[in-house]
Amino acid sequence: MFAADLFSLELLQEYGPYIAEGALVTLQLTAAGMGLAMPLGLAGALMLLSRRRPLIVVARTYVELVRGTPAIVILFLFYFGLASAGLVLSPFVGAWLALGVMGGAFLTEIIRAGIEGVPRGQMEAAEALGMDYRVAMRRIILPQATRLVLPPVTNSAILMLKDTSLVLTIGVADITYRAYNVASSTFRAMPIYLIAALIYLAMSIPLAFAVRYLERRLARSGDHS
């Protein structure tokens, strides 16, 4: 009896395709969220590494406020909070902004660490060749930092993919939203949510393997350098 409640091929055949349709929304939100998080993270990292204290304070405040606030609260602030202030967003746009802002705060620290991981002599060499700070960052430092941050950035994408499950609370029809609807109507929560979990795993495991592959490649290239 417990095994039947744990998993049901009948439910998988009947409701699996419906729940799986939410995977497209989940992937769209993840891609859009990372698309916003990356420039926010890069800007935040450069501000933290600048010599201008006001920029450092702004970036540090952004990072600490976001990291210290629960993700669901940030999501509600963007969707319900802005609506109460007169700015009504669609559920998808509200979720996109919330995910992007949250991701940007974490990527700020990842990118900052990547830039600081580039040997200082690289900047000195660029300056000796007559490059100013911006040109040196664009041509010398950032390309090298990109290699260092690829694994943790990919890992952040996995975390964002899983965080998209929160958007069911504002009515975005993702995987979790559809699973919740089916579980509520069938009263078979265990097998339905297990189906949802398997769909998330099918999307996140390839990314996890990509992280390990990148880490191995970087480790080998570091050994040969």
Class of domain 2-224: mainly alpha
Contact at 8 Å (CB) between 178 and 18?
yes
Tell the burial category of 129 from Cβ atoms under 10 Å away from its Cβ (0-12, 13-18, 19+): exposed
Please, is 215 exposed, middle or buried when counting C-beta atoms within 10 Å of its C-beta (0-12, 13-18, 19+)?
middle
Backbone φ and ψ of 178, nearest 5°? -70, -40
- DSSP 3-state of 225: coil
Q: Where are the domains of the chain?
A: 2-224
Would you state the structure tokens that stand for residue 52, as one six-digit string?
Answer: 């201008």
pLDDT (tens digit, 0 to 9) for every residue of the chain, 225 residues total?
444 556 667 888 888 899 999 999 999 999 999 999 999 999 999 999 988 999 999 999 999 999 999 999 999 999 999 999 999 999 999 999 999 999 999 999 999 999 999 888 888 888 888 888 888 888 888 888 888 898 899 889 999 999 999 999 999 999 999 999 999 998 888 989 999 999 999 999 988 888 788 777 776 765 555
Give the Å distances, CA to CA, from 28 to 21, 121, 224.
12, 40, 38
pTM: 0.88
